Structure 1
Amino acid sequence: MLTVVEQAEALEQAARAFQRVLETALGEVAPPELSGPLQEAAAHLAEDVQRGGTFLLDLRKRQLPEDRPPVQARLEERRQRWATWHEQVVHRLDLMQVLIALRQVLETEEAGLLKRTAALTLQPVFQRFAPVIERLQQAAREVEAACDAAVAGGPVGVLRDTISRVQAGTVRYMQQTLDSVTALVQADRVLDQPGEEEEARVHRYVEQLPERLTLHSPPKPPITRVDPRGPVLRLEVRTIAAEALAVPLPQQLREPAQAFRAALLAVWGETEQLQHIVQYNLEAALDELAHLEGGKDEAPAPDARAAEAQTAEVASKSPDRLASVRELGRDGLQRAAQLLGELPQGLYAPWTALCEAAFAAFSGEWDVLRLRIQSTDLMEQRWAGMRVQMARRLRVFWRDVREQGERRLKEAGRYLHLGRRQARRLIQRGQSAVGVLSQTDDAQQDTISAITNLEDLLAGLPLVYRKLFAFEPVQVPSLMEGRGRDLVRVRAHYTRWRQQQAGALVLALPLGSGRTSLLNVLRQTVFEEADVRVLSLDERLSHPDQLAVRLAAVLGVDVTRPTLEGLERYLRNRPAGDRPLVCMIDNLEHLLLQRPGGIQLMERVLIFFSRTDRHVYWVATVAGHAWHFLERTASAASGLVTAYRPAPLNRESLQAILINRHRRSGMPLRFAPPRDPSPLLRQRLRRARTDEEQQAVLREEYFDRLYRLSGQNIMLALYYWLRSTDFEVEQGALVIHPPRPLDFGFLTTFDLARAFTLKAFLIHNTLTLEEHNLIFRLNEEQGTFLLESLLNQRIIRPVPTTPAQAVDPYGPILPGVRYRISPLLVHPVTEHLRLRHIVYQG
């Protein structure tokens, strides 16, 4: 039998169990047919229990809950919870559709960007190049057929007319078809802000996205129970998408787009070179025909038989001429067609890089968006955004570090190069001081032999190369490189002169730096619309009347005894013509001599320039060392004119000169590595991944060394280029080997007498035996001894003052014959005298 305490505990347990049953019953969902009665009974029971309590529960120990929501409200709350859960499921499906649609938009815009860019950049290249290639091949067939007819005995005049017609028609067709203005404007429009239109469309689509979606975390498998009261994630979809697209697309594509634009600009620029190749080769073929016909047009023959007999006789006398015409005409056109077909290959690498950058930009935006969406809570979202920002900042940081490192390496390389050069100079001085020479007699003989056998080197060149790399002044403006800034300065001075704000102009340039070429180009460009008169002083003048006679002949002044005073009066009273009068004088240093009174003629001429510069635009060239001497000895007279020292040719200008001339030949070019490369060059070649990168490294190394060897002497640079060229065609390309420097160490053995004689040549350009003796106050035997020693070592050479004058380059020193430093030795001699502190400027 239970005790009272045990009975009380049992009753209490039963009361609690009954209470739990009641509470559970109130929360469960009844069937539809019992829902109404159960809710009514439950409501009455709850009211009774609330008022009277239950006889099984001691109210002093436990009170029933007060203010408990009614059953209907609780059922509505649970229904609303599940409705919200299902709405979140719908939102998740909407999110998936939004992401899929956004991914499709990004892929569509990426493809559209590449298609639009290709249509405005690549498509014009292929559409215009194809008909030009066909036209060039057709022109080559026409020239070859005409050459075959001439070889078979046909009239040479027909061949000349055919080549002239082909040249005019082909060049005109190329100029019309390969006009790059429209193509480059279209390319600039699409590559200036790449992806700007596509990005705008993507942003417009993002603005249409849902502003906010509420999601719940999906249950992890295996799914046994679904609780609608799990954590909720509210996604700001529009804001997240806008943040994923925060980096502008043009900014991401700017670098590869500019690289592709540069490559495209280079391809279109090469088409102009192809026009020069066609024009130059066909003009050279016409020159060969002119030599074949004796430099004159064919005279009309009395009948056809006589014409055929004359043509056959001419062709039989010069079979090599017709072969040269065939080589220049047909091969030049074929090379132009081949190069035009190969030009688009240079666009493959930058176009591929642009496509990869576009793919990375669009896929990167998608990856950022997906990473943000996949975050499960706010902290993870912030962490994802921070990771993306850190990754971007790290990329920018490493790029800046890499650029700074490259700049520091270049600076270190320059300092190292400067130190090595100073060390070499000190070694040379030490060797000269102790009598230890840097070369043997054999090396000196090799250098002299290389200088004297210049004609043999030229004879071994292909015909087109002999014409392109002839050691003559440039006549075509397109072959002039590195003087663009000088042309602009001269044009600006000429414009001020026409406004009566400037006077005469003197161009002071070193010997061998292309002074005559600069005048030729000025005549065809800056002074194209002027009445230009040219005077070249090939010998030294000592009296003003001698110069007056030459100026009168050039200016067309018909007087019996011309003088500078008479020319001044004539020019001041001369009526102004329709075109401005420009007079260019070359080699103005032939008006001075380093002796007492030797600068009076130069001073008089400068005064003459100053008095007449309102009526004539005087342009004169003078040796740099000569003008430096005049500024020190006659500063007042030198101030009467504007002296301009053109900027020295830099390494890039020297490369442009040689490459531009080579391109006229139409021959492919390939640089060969040195047999024993330096450790630095070997390391750079290992880093180069492609053949194009290796060629770029070898090209840079070649021209760096060539510029150190030749300096401002263009003729010496041309010589080194031809000397290092292997004309055995390897895989369709000419092979350029590293330059083989000539050893001029024997210059260090010269005593002061010969050294100052060489300085006199740098100042005066040319000297005769008599002028040399006047400068140094030597008798004929002493002067002959000095000049003879320089002539025997081929340091100086005789110069004919007229085309009819014959000089023996290996003969003895003769009175009246003019001599000058060999053009190939101007730079080595100048550097030698500078090291010995004998010359400083010029």
Structure 2
Amino acid sequence: MQPRQAARRALARNLRPELERDFDLVQSHHRKAILAMERVREVVAFAESDEAAEAGALTRDAIQHSLSLLEFSRGELASWQPDFELRQVRAAAEAFAEIHLLLGRDWLSVQAYVADRGFRHLASLTGQLATETLSRFARRGIAWSTAAGRRFLRRIGWSVSADAGHVEVVTRAVLPRQFAVDVSTIALPALYRRLFRPEPVQDSRFLVGRERELAAVAEAREFWEQGRPAALLVVGERGTGKTSLVNCAEQQCLKGVEIVREEFTRRVVTAAELRSFLAARLGVDEPDLLEEHLARRRCVIVLEEAERTFLRHIGHYGAARALQRLIAATCSSVLWIVVMNSSAFKLLDAAFEFGSGFSHRVNTGAASRDDIRNAILLRHNLSGLRLEFMAEPLQGGHLKKLAAAIQGGDRSPEALFFNALRRESEGVYRTAFDIWLAHIGSIEAGALYMRPLSRPDLGQVISEFDQEDLFTLAAVLQHGSLTPEEHATVFQLSLTESRARIDQLAAREILDEDRRRGGFRVRPHAIRVVREALYRRNLL
């Protein structure tokens, strides 16, 4: 035995790992403090840059959250030193004790000592675990057999259930809580509500995961500036960020050009109505001279809510066809950007190949799990609040624990929450933000606590949709919204019957009134349920 080498090995085993681990911990604490100070600077800068009417409240919230965050960071820095010193003293004592043991015994006696202690501890632990496991399974087996015997006796009539009295209360299936919460009624700080307001993005730093879409807009402009025919179609479900994409494209890809931006707030179904609408917006006196006017004008025309250029009925596609012809005739001088929802595009493209007239098509489809997480945390970090995820109690016994172990991966509360959020929102930003706000548990001492997100049972709600309900919901998605008169035209019903069907769906919290554009639309909170119901019946 060589004492110097034995001492070096003992120090390397006991003292050095503790030193390295603690110094890494100190370094991480200092790094967190620097990040906290930088985050405070961003929070205050964001609140001061907002020119909204509630700017004073935003600034107060920002200062309050920033002070709480700095106080928390200072507490973390002050708390590590006593533990640090205690761990170092303990590690040094263990190292020197081992050196003393090695010097006092020869190598074989030390091995025999360690082996003897290890085997005795292992045997004791194994026996204890085996006893506990057998006892637990025995208790569960007795309980299961007793319950099964009671059920059998009740089945054959030899025993009467304790709750033999029959009281029945029947309630209509309603939307799960996370699909029915009105986020406007949730008590949130003004700054947090401002960050998660349900409006299109105006600040390009909040547009997450749309780099390829912005590149397509830039390429379409390059085509147009070269004198080549160019037109862009932006397709996506409501809440996927179509308007946000256009807003940020104006700031980045479409600078320095004239932009005419309009939205169809009412339905136009004939070619004459469409031409009159565009002529009024472009300052053209004669709608029949639109082509001549646009041939001499170099500009970008953005048309949103293009699903309101048709009605799914024979003879009511004239406006959409006229728009297609106008784009084909003027796309060398005008860069057209048309925005519509996915359901409307699928219908028009199947009817008369509406998408064939566009050189570029952008689909603002479902966002990835990482994009949704980044979009939420980007906003949350500007609030100055710390974030804590509550752990979900693992139910289901040993089988569920075994399944979780087999699945592997990150099983932290945060990872589980964002995995479930991506699944339940189906990658729609607006839905993800609503679910996020609906699962805020509390805000205490500068920290925001998130409740765990579980998979809701949509089966009962979906099962109550009859065939007429599903056809109505599919039509509403295709048209953006429908008035009772438009519904009656599409389905060839009386106005009274159409109004009754719409009112019934509104009473079940599936439809609500679109006050800005008229008619009834699918409620943002119910889109997930409606899409699932239509998908199960092969209507989507």
One-letter identity of the residue aligned with 1:608: L
Q: Which residue, out of 287, 311, 314, partners 1:593? A: 311
Aligned-residue offset at 1:277: 2.2
Q: Confirm or deny: 8 A CA contact 2:421 2:435 kept in the other structure.
A: yes
Q: Which amino acid aligns with 1:280?
A: F
Aligned to 2:138: none
Instruction: Verify: 1:620 aligned to 2:338, yes or no.
Output: yes
Shift of 1:503: 1.4
Given that residues 503 and 641 in structure 1 are in contact (C-alpha distance below 8 angstroms), is that contact kept between their aligned partners in structure 2? Answer: yes
Uncovered stretches (5+) of structure 2, i.e. residues with no partner: 1-19, 79-168
Aligned residue for 1:738, secondary structure, equals coil
Could you tell me how far apart the structure 2 residues matched to 1:622 and 1:721 are?
A: 26
Equivalent-residue separation in structure 2 for 1:487 and 1:449 (angstroms): 32
Question: Cα offset for 1:775?
Answer: 0.6
**2: CA distance, partners of 1:722 / 1:675:** 21
1:373 corresponds in structure 2 to none
Following superposition, the deviation at residue 749 of structure 1 comes to: 1.6
* Residue 680 of structure 1, CA deviation: 8.6
Long gaps (5+) in structure 1: 1-113, 134-270, 291-321, 346-439, 688-692, 803-816
Residue 749 of structure 1: aligned partner: 464
Query: Which residue number in structure 1 is paired with residue 121 of structure 2?
Result: none
Whether the aligned pair in 2 keeps the contact of 1:761 and 1:767 (CA below 8 Å) is: yes
Query: Does structure 2 retain, via aligned residues, the 8 Å contact 1:728–1:735?
Result: yes
CA distance in structure 1 between the aligned counterparts of 2:350 and 2:176, rounded to whole angstroms: 36
1:476 matched to 2:241: no
Partner in structure 2 of residue 573 of structure 1? 296
Which structure would you say has the larger Rg? 1
Relative to structure 1, the CA distance from residue 508 to residue 453 in structure 2 (aligned partners, 3 Å threshold; closer, same or farther) is: closer
**Of residues 507, 514, 521 in structure 2, which corresponds to 1:799?**
514
Q: Distance in 1 between matches of 2:502 and 2:303?
A: 29
Q: For 1:537 and 1:646, how far apart are their aligned partners in 2? A: 20
For 1:608, the equivalent position in structure 2 comes to 326
Distance 1:835 1:281 in 2: 45
Match of 2:60 among 305, 327, 341: 327
Counterparts in 2 of 1:700 and 1:834: CA distance versus 1, 3 Å:
same
CA distance in 2, matches of 1:492, 1:486: 10
- Among 446, 449, 460, which residue is 1:735 paired with? 449
Structure 2 residue aligned with 1:287:
52
Give the partner amino acid of 2:533. Answer: H
Pick the aligned partner of 1:551 from 274, 278, 281.
Answer: 278
Measure, in 2, the Cα distance between the counterparts of 1:680 and 1:567: 69
Aligned counterpart, 2:43: 277
Change (3 A) 1:682 1:658: farther
- How far apart are residue 624 of structure 1 and its match? 0.6
Q: 1:337, CA displacement in angstroms?
A: 5.7
Asked whether 1:451 is paired with 2:180, we answer: yes
Asked if 2 retains the 8 angstrom alpha-carbon contact of 1:721 and 1:739, the reply is no
Deviation at 1:681, TM superposition (A): 8.2
Aligned ranges for residues 146-545 of structure 1 at < 5 Å? Answer: 271=38, 276-284=42-50, 286-288=51-53, 324=57, 327-331=60-64, 333-334=66-67, 442=171, 444-445=173-174, 447=176, 451=180, 453-457=182-186, 460-545=187-272
Q: Secondary structure at the match of 2:513?
A: strand
- Following TM superposition, by how much is the alpha carbon of 1:686 offset from its aligned partner in structure 2, in angstroms? 9.2
Map of 1:137 onto structure 2: none
Matching residue's letter, 1:836: R
TM-score, structure 1 length as denominator?
A: 0.46
The 3-state SS of whatever aligns with 1:618 is strand
CA deviation after TM superposition for structure 1 residue 824, in Å? 1.1
RCO comparison, higher one (Cα < 8 Å, 6+): 2
Q: Deviations over 1:750-793 (max 9, x none)?
A: 11111010000111111111111111100112212211110111
Query: Any idea what SS the aligned residue of 2:245 has?
Result: helix
> 1:583·1:616 contact (CA, 8 Å) conserved in 2?
yes
Find the partner of 2:423 among 692, 705, 708: 708
DSSP 3-state at the match of 1:767 = coil
How many angstroms does 1:509 deviate by?
0.7
State whether residues 723 and 740 of structure 1, in contact with CA within 8 Å, keep that contact through their aligned partners in structure 2: no
2:284 maps to 1:583: no
1:444 is paired with a residue whose SS is coil
Superposition RMSD on alpha carbons, in Å? 3.5
Q: Give, in whole Å, the separation in 1 of the partners of 2:258 and 2:73.
A: 39
Residues 223-246 of structure 1: per-residue CA shift (max 9 Å, x gap): xxxxxxxxxxxxxxxxxxxxxxxx
Structure 1 segments (4+ residues) deviating >4 Å: 273-276, 335-345, 440-443, 677-687, 740-743
1:641 to 358, 362, 365: 358
1:799–1:674 Cα change, 3 Å: same
User: Does the C-alpha gap of structure 1 residues 601 and 547 become closer, same or farther in structure 2, counting only changes over 3 Å?
Assistant: closer
Aligned to 1:257: none
Q: Deviations over 1:407-459 (max 9, x none)?
A: xxxxxxxxxxxxxxxxxxxxxxxxxxxxxxxxx965834648962644322xx
The structure-2 alpha-carbon separation of the partners of 1:517 and 1:341, relative to structure 1 and needing over 3 Å to count, comes to farther
- Alignment partner of 2:381 out of 659, 663, 672: 663
Q: Is the 8 A contact 1:474 1:480 kept in 2?
A: yes
Please state if 1:835 is matched with 2:539. Answer: no
**In structure 1, C-alpha distance between the alignment counterparts of 2:387 and 2:304, rounded to whole Å:** 36
Aligned to 2:390, which of 655, 672, 680? 672
SS of match in other structure, 1:535: strand
Identity %: 22
Change over 3 Å in CA distance of 1:801–1:531 after alignment to 2: same
- Displacement of 1:325 after TM fit? 5.3
Choose the corresponding residue for 1:762, options 458, 477, 493. Answer: 477
Q: Give the AA of the match of 1:792.
A: A
Aligned to 1:652: 370
Kindly indicate whether the alpha-carbon contact (under 8 Å) linking 1:671 and 1:699 is maintained by their aligned counterparts in 2: yes
1:619 match: secondary structure: strand
1:782-840 CA distance string (max 9 Å, x none): 212211110111111111136xxxxxxxxxxxxxx51100011112211111111111x
Q: Secondary structure at the match of 2:52?
A: helix
Q: Secondary structure at the match of 2:357?
A: coil
C-alpha offsets along residues 305-361 of structure 1, whole Å, 9 cap, x if unaligned? Answer: xxxxxxxxxxxxxxxxx6x3552352255467679989999xxxxxxxxxxxxxxxx
Give secondary structure in 2 for the equivalent of 1:662. helix
Q: Residue type of the partner of 1:546?
A: E
Alignment of 1:4-153 (within 5 A): 133=37
Give the letter aligned to residue 327 of structure 1.
Answer: R
What is the CA-CA distance between 1:465 and the residue it aligns to?
1.4
Partner of 2:490: 775
TM-score, with structure 2 as normaliser? 0.69
| SS of match in other structure, 2:367 | coil
SS of residue in 2 equivalent to 1:670: strand
Counterpart contact for 2:271–2:319, Cα < 8 Å:
yes
- Alignment CA distance shift 1:783-1:448 (3 Å): farther
Pair 697,681 (structure 1): closer, same or farther in 2 beyond 3 Å: farther
* CA spacing shift, 1:664–1:624, aligned 2, 3 Å: same
CA distance in 2, matches of 1:619, 1:656: 28
Distance (Å, rounded) in 1 between the aligned partners of 2:499 and 2:413 = 47
Distance 1:446 1:590, change over 3 A: closer
User: Distance in 1 between the 2:223 and 2:76 partners?
Assistant: 43
CA distance in 1, matches of 2:399, 2:271: 59
Aligned residues: 419
CA contact (8 A) 2:47 2:191 kept: yes
